[in-house]
Amino acid sequence: MKPIHFRTRRRLSVLVTLIAIVIVVMVNRWQQDRLGHASYFTGFTLLATLCLLMLLGIRRRLPVLPLGNVSTWTQIHLYSGLFAAAVYAVHVPALIAGGQFECTLSILFLLVSGSGFYGLYASRTVPRRLTAVPGEFRFEQIPWHRNEIAAAAGRLFDGVSEEAAMAVLKTFYRNVLNPFFASSPTFAYVVLPTGHRRRRLLSGLRELDRYLEQESRSTAGQFAALVRKRDDLDYQYALQFRLRLWVVVHSVLSLLLFGGAIIHAAVALRFTM
């Protein structure tokens, strides 16, 4: 059987999601016209969708299970999330519901939705940005690679001769390069990695060129290569850390939302039946 093209599959997924949303809107209006409990229908539909999303999230993190490929389940998770956002809009008359508990639940839902959309954006952009940087490093091994680069810079410094031209390079290493190699990337860099630090260090090495001789220029070039390697490593660390942090935040918020939704449903049933 010929596989369905990605664009065709995406159009079908969007169409099915829109049809499901239209059905929810129509049933909700029909319930309201009959003076029925329309909020029950949308509320429990939303709760069931949240339960499905939780199960889909678990499935995505267990790729060894023989239940289809992870890509398919990721797409189901995405469109189920869009459906949940639409049902929420029908269920809650305002963006944030009234009442202290309901308000907290609404904020949790919006945070989960926002983090979900960020995850969609990150999953599309971060892999491309990672492959654009030389080298592939496992997140757990990045501190080891960082120490190896610092050790290589230290060995290079120890091999520097005592010539007058080398004194300028040694001073620059002690004051500028050594703190860079010996420290972890700052929180600001992890949040928003830029090339400013890299350009500043390489520019500083280039400015030393007029004071250096042939041998010291070669050493400065090796320091520059280590700066580039370390900056590439920090860039990969920042992107991978961002993805891992997103998974943790999205999972914790989802659990809180699901638990709160169950409590909300139980309270609603207790006081209306």
The pLDDT of residue 120 is: 85
User: Residue 49 pLDDT more than 80?
Assistant: yes
pLDDT in tens, 61-73: 666 555 666 677 7
Handedness of CA 54, 56, 60, 62 (dihedral sign): positive
The reply to whether the predicted model has a pTM over 0.75 is: yes
Q: Could you tell me what percent of the chain has a pLDDT over 70? A: 90
Higher pLDDT, 26 or 93: 26
Asked if pLDDT for residue 47 goes beyond 60, the answer is yes
SS3 for 84-128 is HHHHHHHHCCCCCCCCHHHHHHHHHHHHHHHHHHHHHHHHHHHHH
Given a contact cutoff of 8 angstroms between Cβ atoms, the answer to whether 28 and 42 are in contact is: yes
Assign 39 to helix, strand or coil: helix
Give 229-244 pLDDT, tens digit per residue: 999 999 999 999 998 9
Question: What local confidence, expressed as pLDDT, does residue 132 receive?
Answer: 85
Of 191 and 161, more confident: 191
Q: What is the pLDDT of residues 130-151, one digit of tens each?
A: 888 887 888 899 999 999 999 9
